[in-house]
Amino acid sequence: MHEMGIGEKGLETAKKHKREGNKPNLRNEGQKVIMQVENLSKTYTQGKIPVHALRCACITVRKGELLAIMGPSGSGKSTLLALIGTLEKATEGKIILDGTDLTSVPEKLLPGVRREKIGFIFQHYNLIPTLSALENVELAMRFSGVPKKERKERAKALLDDLGLGDRLNHKPTELSGGEQQRVSIARALANRPALILADEPTGEVDSKTRDSIVRTFKELSEKGQTILVVTHDPEVAKECSRVLRITDGVIKDY
């Protein structure tokens, strides 16, 4: 279901953020800007009624940030993630990721750009049940032209780094929820993306596993990996370097 529209007060807030933008914390000031979202809007039409799911979003994200995106259901966070992930087209505005304006890339070229620049982590893991952990990670690199030997070596190294070196040949049904999510993290990292988008990545695990996943994100962030996490969990958000809150399609930066 698409997000609800915004009222006059929300529109004024959106215009204010359009002028001011969403700025990263001072501790990230020395880092390269990896993504710039400029006046991003998405309007759907329900019958003849326009529904503003996202309005005038302006965000600056620096390399290595671990950024949380929070908001109630229907607030616009899923729309923002879909636009950044090139899964939907913006009505207005730009998304410049690692030097590429994603909003101007032709439709037929988007899958390639998505594979090279964006890694996805999902709440329900989305692993292929008939493949092993190693094969699931390798698969992410096949369409990017990575040679078979390098695919295997890279996949093994990623899984080793995530503590799954002894689970390489296990299929998803033979892994715990936390282990499956770490396989999906390895898969997201496989093509060395500029940005990882994580949609409720701790929504299906217990608190101990959640904390382990968050620690992994923080370690990746410290190594320079940029990660955007959509979450409802304040315990996850408080560990992030910055929090964006979305209400009625309008972004506020905390």
Domain count, the chain: 1
Angstrom distance (rounded) from CA 15 to CA 6:
12
* CATH number of the structural domain spanning residue 197: 3.40.50.300
> Looking at the domain assignment, is residue 111 inside a domain?
yes
Residue at 3 is within a domain: no
Look up the pTM and report it. 0.85
| In a domain? residue 97 | yes
**1 in a structural domain:** no
Whether residue 196 is contained in a domain is answered as yes
Q: How far is CA 184 from CA 19, 122, 219, 240, in A?
A: 38, 8, 16, 20
Q: Hey, which bits of the chain come out as E strands?
A: 33-46, 49-62, 66-70, 92-97, 100-101, 118-121, 195-199, 226-230, 242-247, 250-253
H or E element in which residue 91 lies: none
What are the DSSP E strand ranges found in 72-205?
92-97, 100-101, 118-121, 195-199
Per-residue pLDDT tens digits of the chain, which is 254 residues long: 344 344 444 445 444 444 444 444 444 556 799 999 999 999 988 888 988 899 999 999 999 999 999 998 888 898 999 999 999 999 999 999 999 999 999 999 999 999 999 999 998 899 999 999 999 999 999 988 899 999 999 999 999 999 999 999 999 999 999 999 999 999 999 999 999 999 999 988 889 999 999 999 999 999 999 999 999 999 999 999 999 999 988 998 75
Domain around 227: 8-253
